[in-house]
Chains A and B, each alone.
Chain A
Amino acid sequence: MAGRNLWQEFTKGLWLDNPVSRQLLGMCSTLAISNAVINGIAMGLAVSFVLICSSLLVSLVRRIVPNQVRIASYIVIVASFVTIADRFLAAFFPPISKALGPYVPLIVVNCIILGRAEAFASKNSVGRALIDAVGMSAGYIIALLILSSVREILGSGTILGYRVLGTWFEPWIIMILPPGAFITLGILIALAFQIERKVKQRR
């Protein structure tokens, strides 16, 4: 952690410590909602909002909160932001709120958020915590975008609801069902590791 400059602090979330492909955090909701790109975007934004706000706040109060009650405090902070995001979606984007179903309230227990609060924000300055959270959010959104694009294209033949594959294409229904989520995620993680290995070898 020490010696990282701000830029590295940001980019580690994109690749080296990507929450989905490297840290394998928040898998449950990632698998469940990546069946359509629009859901992936909405979930990505909701998680980003919660992650950035709670990282900021956790970092702000890190010297005030006694160690013994830190987890309880973080949970309350995270839960408040999740409820705000949930109500906001229900009020202004009802169809998305419906599609994401229980997975928005479940962001409370998403390990990415509590993980970053505990492992990073509670030990670093507000600025670094913010940069870390933005990087992690970006990494999460990118991973969700890749995952949900693959699943929507193969599973429904569409992307964001627009048909991209012709009528000749018989959608692979399994891709929008749970097995498709596991298969795609598995391949994605394997690919990420493979690329990482190749990069290391070249060095």
Chain B
Amino acid sequence: MSLSRRMVIVLTSIGIISGALLMAVNLLTKDRIAYNKQKEIEGAIIRVIPGTRASQKIYEEKDFTVYQGEDDQGNLLGFAINTAAAGFQDKILYIFGLNTQLTRINSLYVLGQKETPGLGAKISDQRAFLQFWESKDCDQPLSLRKPAVEKEQLASSEVNTVTGATVSSRAVLTSVNLALEKIKKLKEEGKINIEGGHGG
């Protein structure tokens, strides 16, 4: 057999075998991977809308997804917005929960970020940052408090800045305010059905 023919045959067969193998692996793992993603989002929604038993996506655009959370009886408990802030290194993916009137933030949870470890990365930390997002009034845009003060001294629409992570803190705050504006506009335009407990 000539050399060139042998090269073609060997490369082709290696390609085919490897392709078949990868197809099998994909078939075996893809459901599980999709399930993990789904689970992660669902877990986060339960975290930011307390008491949620069932959740569903009601609105979606790029980097901005709205879910609604319902209890056992199908009563609307609130909304969760999954969106992204422009962080120091990369997108900060996070989710936050709102009450049904969109006037109060229940809590905020960071799903993924690549901020500087030890500095910006503290925005995922409950004690350093996330605790200040619990039960915040959001009729008006929120603001950052810098330097940070005791939790009790914060105004109802104020959040502490993480020391050493001003850029990351501000990125999240700006993005939350934008997302609030967006969801309020969607509500006015009637694209999000606030009253309806079922469907949506």
Contacts and interface: CB of A to CB of B under 8 A. Distances in A.
Interface of A: 35, 61, 64-66, 68-69, 72-73, 76-77, 79-80, 83-84, 87-88, 90-92, 94, 98, 101, 155, 171, 173, 176-177
B24 to A, nearest CB: 9
A109 B11 CA distance: 19
B15 interface: yes
A77 B14 contact: yes
A94 B40 contact: yes
Contacts of B11: 69, 72-73, 76
Given A80-B22, A83-B22, A68 B29 contact: no
A80 B36 contact: no
Interface of B: 3, 6-7, 10-11, 14-15, 18, 21-22, 25-26, 28-29, 32-33, 36, 40, 112, 114, 116-119
B29 A91 contact: yes
Secondary structure class of chain A's binding surface, majority of residues: helix
Contacts of B21: 80, 84
B22 A64 contact: no
13 contacts: A66-B6, A68-B7, A69-B7, A69-B11, A76-B15, A80-B18, A84-B25, A90-B29, A94-B36, A98-B112, A173-B119, A176-B117, A177-B118
A64 B10 contact: yes
